[in-house]
Structure 1
Amino acid sequence: MPFRPQRPSSIAARWSRRLGRFSLLLAFMAALLHRAGILVLPNAVAAILLASCLALIVLGLAMIGFFMLWQVGAKGGHAAFSGMVMALMVLGPVGFAAGRYLTLPAIHDVSTDIVDAPQWIEEPVITPSWLPRSNGDVPAARAAQAIAYPQVAGRRYDGAIDRVLQAVRGVAGDNKWTQVANVGADLLVDGLEPAPETAEAPPATTGEADPARAPVPVPRPDIENQPVEPMPTDALVQYETKTLVLGIPQDILVRLVEEEETTFVDMRVATRDGDHDLGLNAALIRSFLHDLDVRLLGIAGG
Structure 2
Amino acid sequence: MRGYEEEPLSRAAVLSRLIALFAIPVTAIAVLVARSGQVETIPAVAAVASGLLLALLAVLLAFVSFGSIWVNGYRGGRLACIGLVIGAALLAYPLYTIADGLSYPAIADVTTDVANPPAFRGAVLERQLGENSLVYGGESVALDQLAAYPEIVPVTTDLPPEETHAIALQLMRDRGWRVIAGEKPGEGGLSQIEAVASSPLLGLKSDIAVRIQPQTRGSRVDMRSASRFGSRDFGANAHIVRGYMTELLAATR
Q: Decide: shared fold, TM above 0.5.
A: yes
1:254-269 alignment to 2 at 5 Å?
254-269=210-225
The TM-score with structure 2 as length reference comes to 0.88
Task: State the 1:132 CA deviation.
Answer: 7.5
**Is residue 2:84 matched to residue 1:128?**
no
Measured at CA, do residues 134 and 118 of structure 1 come closer, stay the same or move farther in structure 2, by a change above 3 Å?
A: closer
Cα distance change, pair 133–167 in 1 and its aligned pair in 2 (3 A) = closer
**Structure 1, gaps ≥5 residues long:** 188-230, 298-302
CA contact (8 A) 1:243 1:249 kept: yes
Please say if 1:296 is aligned against 2:247.
no
Where is the helix percentage greater, Structure 1 or Structure 2? Answer: 2
Rounded Cα–Cα distance in structure 1 between residues aligned with 2:121 and 2:135: 17
Determine which structure has more spread, i.e. the larger CA radius of gyration.
Answer: 1
Unaligned residue ranges in structure 2 (runs of 5+): none
State the alpha-carbon separation in 2 of the partners of residues 3 and 237 from structure 1. 76
| 1:221 match | none
Q: 1:147 to 1:17 in 2, by over 3 A?
A: same
Deviations 1:138-186 (A, max 9, x none): 221121111121111111112222222222122112112222223333x
Contact 1:109 1:269 in 2 (8 A): yes
Equivalenced residues, count: 251
CA RMSD in angstroms comes to 2.4
* Residue type at the aligned position of 2:224: R
Cα 1:132–1:172 change in 2 (3 A) is closer
Which residue does the alignment assign to 2:170? 170
Q: Is 1:272 matched with 2:228?
A: yes
Query: Structure 1 residues 3 and 252 mapped into 2: Cα distance closer, same or farther (>3 Å)?
Result: closer
Could you say which residue in structure 1 is the equivalent of 2:183?
183
1:15 aligned to 2:15? Answer: yes
Provide the C-alpha distance between the structure 2 equivalents of 1:174 and 1:50, rounded to a whole number of angstroms.
Answer: 34
TM-score by length of 1: 0.75
- Secondary structure, in 3 states, of the residue corresponding to 1:237? strand
User: How far does residue 99 in structure 1 lie from its aligned partner after superposition?
Assistant: 1.9
- 1:108-146 CA-to-partner distances (Å, cap 9, x unmatched) read 2111100111111224333234x7769543221121111
After TM superposition, list the pairs within 5 Å mapping 1:96-111 onto structure 2: 96-111=96-111
Change (3 A) 1:135 1:235: closer
After superposition, give the CA deviation of every residue in 1:240-271 in whole Å (9 maximum; x if it has no partner).
Answer: 23223321112111111111112111001112
